[in-house]
A = this chain, B = another copy of it.
Amino acid sequence: MKNDNFVIQGDICWSTSLTALKTMPDAFLVCVEGKSAGVYPQLPQRFAELPLFDYRGKLVIPGLVDLHIHAPQFAFRGLGMDMELLDWLDSHAFPEEAKFNDIDYARSAYGLFTEHLKRSSNTRFVVYATVHVPATLLLMELLEESGLVCMVGKVNMDRNSPDSLREYSAASSLEATREWLGAADTYTRVKPVLTPRFIPSCSDDLMRGLGALRREFNLPVQSHLSENRSEIEWVRKLCPASGSYGAAYRDFDLFGNDTPEGGPTVMAHCVWPDENEIALMARRGVFAAHCPQSNANLSSGIAPVRRLLLAGVPVGLGSDIAGGTSSSVFRAMADAVQVSKLRRVLLDNDDKALTLEEVFYLGTVGGGVFFEKSGMGRCGSFEPRYDFDALIIDDSSLATSGWRTAPFALSIRDRLERTVYLGDNHTIAAKYVQGRLITA
């Protein structure tokens, strides 16, 4: 047997559906060849010879999935938060991204970014890079070495962008994308994802060319959708025939496929979709990456996650660094609950607030399905044959009087809730991805 065959003992918890958690105190989680071989109250005899790692008293949960993060924006997270989206892009995002034309700067900045991700609560990431092919390949190399599982996109943008970042033409952008795709297939844990920045920054020719590349290489797609009302109005003017922002992506063949099963596409934000756009996402299996902290920071609004879920849209969570300031998907879970309550009370509507169980599902299985649809393994659960992505949480620092002993002992479910609200990187005792221990 190989090194990635072992057993973990601890207080184990994972989602079995959008609304249900399975918890097993002091149980055994078995890893065979990098995949879960199940969770057992007693260790079965056939695994008795495997190395046993003792995490008794600690929480063991699936690794968290970040469906939307901008790698080059890590350098200015937590800055410019008094601005709105378009001002903030001009003053912070675009100038910083332009620096990644310099491969030495990229090595330094992406090195810090990768080290940060290793220490974070997340095990999988769908990542925006920049337009620059060498820096994007370097980022992929660093992430591959980290052991994390990632989808990374070289960004396309050929209009409505500053000279320092704008690609010269649709043709040159597409040529650079082919060059990148040709060099990007050497990694095992990091795969390319097509990344038109968003419709306002991509010409029709570029979008059509990317739609053709998607079919040719059978690639997943990420972009931004309906984040901000003035942005939506802009897209309406840019693509008057499409009828909606989402339909514009569809018309360029960058919005899933004709069936809910095919053509993995993830759209960040979806704060202001109308009913038609929601129905289109559901019909074509387009994922929404809900980024609640970013949507507050950039004065975007609160995404109608309950409506998306009821309509059958697949939903996961995103940190959206640096629109969001925290990279933790725990924080995204807590924020998702909080803003769903504000949405309900301020808009006086009947949408029920999201629950802990629901946001935990979204941050594990919900985002994990996007990796599965993209052919990168199942993740987000401890059911057999899921990739062994696991967090070990030492929540003892969050404790208060009597929390381990009757009558005040907390359930695993309550310890999970408290970790979602109060945990930080310091509470992560260990992190495994595909059975490998990630050490930062």
Contacts and interface: CB of A to CB of B under 8 A. Distances in A.
A296 B296 CA distance: 13
Interface of A: 74-79, 81-82, 105, 108-109, 112-113, 293, 296-302, 325-326, 334, 337-339, 341-347, 353, 355-356, 398, 400-402, 408, 410, 414, 417-422, 424, 426
A301 B339 CA distance: 10
Contact of A299 (B75, B301, B334, B341): B341
B338 A296 contact: yes
A411 B8 CA distance: 46
A341 B417 contact: no
Contacts of A398: 78
**Majority secondary structure of chain A interface residues (helix, strand, loop or mixed):** helix
B82 A401 contact: no
Q: Most chain-B Cβ atoms within 10 A of its Cβ — which of A75, A78, A334, A339?
A: A78
A113 to B, nearest CB: 8
Given A301-B342, A342-B296, A346-B343, A401 B78 contact: no
A337 B79 contact: no
Given A342-B301, A344-B299, A346-B302, A75 B422 contact: no
B345 A301 contact: yes
B112 A400 contact: yes
A167 B99 CA distance: 66
A129 to B, nearest CB: 15
